Amino acid sequence: MSQKYHIITYGCQMNLHESEKMAGILRHMGYEECSSTQEADVIVFNTCCIRENAENHAFGNIGALKKLKKEKPGLIIAVGGCMTQEKGKTDVLKKKFPFIDVMFGTLNLEDLETLINRKRNQKKKVIEVLEKEREIIEFTDAYRTSYPNAWVNIMYGCNNFCSYCIVPYVRGRERSRKAEDIITEVRSLIEEGYKEITLLGQNVNSYNSDGKGGMTFAELLDAVASIDGKFRVRFMTSHPKDFNEDVVKVMEKHRKICRLVHLPVQSGSDRILQAMNRRYTSGKYLAEVEMLRKRIPEAELTTDIIVGFPGETEEDYLATEALVKQVDFASAFTFVYSPRQGTKAAEMADRIPEEIQKDRIMRLVELVNSLTRKKSEKYVGKTVEILCEGYDEKKGMYLGRDEFGRMGYFESESDALGEFVTLKIVRANGISLYGERVDVPIKED
Ligand code: 5AD
Ligand code: SF4
pLDDT in tens, 151-175: 999 999 999 999 999 999 999 999 9
In a domain, 426, yes or no: yes
Give the end of a domain, one of 105, 128, 151.
128
In a domain, 422, yes or no: yes
In a domain, 107, yes or no: yes
Q: 217-234, pLDDT tens digit by residue?
A: 999 999 999 999 999 999
> Residue 409 belongs to a domain with what CATH number?
2.40.50.140
pLDDT confidence of residue 140: 74
Ligand in nearest proximity to the CA of 310: 1
- Does residue 13 contact residue 198 with C-beta atoms inside 8 Å? yes
Residue nearest to atom 12 of ligand 1 (CA): 304
Residue nearest to atom 5 of ligand 2 (CA): 50
In a domain, 62, yes or no: yes
Ligand in nearest proximity to the CA of 81: 2
In a domain, 81, yes or no: yes
Please give the number of the atom of ligand 2 that sits closest to the Cα of 54. 3
The rounded distance, in Å, linking the Cα atoms of 154 and 199 is 6
- Global pTM reads 0.95
Q: 74-97, pLDDT tens digit by residue?
A: 999 999 999 999 999 999 999 999
Query: Is the bond leading into 148 cis (omega within 30 degrees of zero)?
Result: yes
| Ligand 1 neighbourhood includes 306 CB (under 6 angstroms) | yes
pLDDT confidence of residue 443: 53
Q: 185-203, pLDDT tens digit by residue?
A: 999 999 999 999 999 999 9
The band of 374, judged by pLDDT with boundaries at 50, 70 and 90, is very high
The rounded distance, in Å, linking the Cα atoms of 194 and 148 is 5
Q: 383-435, pLDDT tens digit by residue?
A: 999 999 999 999 999 999 999 999 999 999 999 999 999 999 999 998 899 99
Which residues lie across from 397 on neighbouring strands?
392
pLDDT confidence of residue 430: 84
Structural domain of 18: 4-128
pLDDT at 444 over 70: no
Question: What's the mean pLDDT when you consider all of the chain?
Answer: 96
Give the end of a domain, one of 110, 128, 146.
128
Give the end of a domain, one of 100, 128, 156.
128
| Ligand 2 neighbourhood includes 58 CB (under 6 angstroms) | no
What is the distance between the terminal CA atoms of the chain, rounded to a whole angstrom? 48
| Ligand 1 neighbourhood includes 266 CB (under 6 angstroms) | yes
Domain count for the chain: 2
Q: 314-353, pLDDT tens digit by residue?
A: 999 999 999 999 999 999 999 999 999 999 999 999 999 9
Please give the number of the atom of ligand 2 that sits closest to the Cα of 15. 6
Compute, in angstroms, the gap from residue 105 CA to the centroid of ligand 2: 12
In a domain, 205, yes or no: no
> Residue 25 belongs to a domain with what CATH number?
3.40.50.12160
Please give the number of the atom of ligand 2 that sits closest to the Cα of 50. 5
In a domain, 412, yes or no: yes
Q: Taking residues 44-61, what's their average pLDDT?
A: 97
In a domain, 259, yes or no: no
259-271 b/e (C-beta count within 10 Å ≥ 16 → b)? bbbbbbbbbbbbe
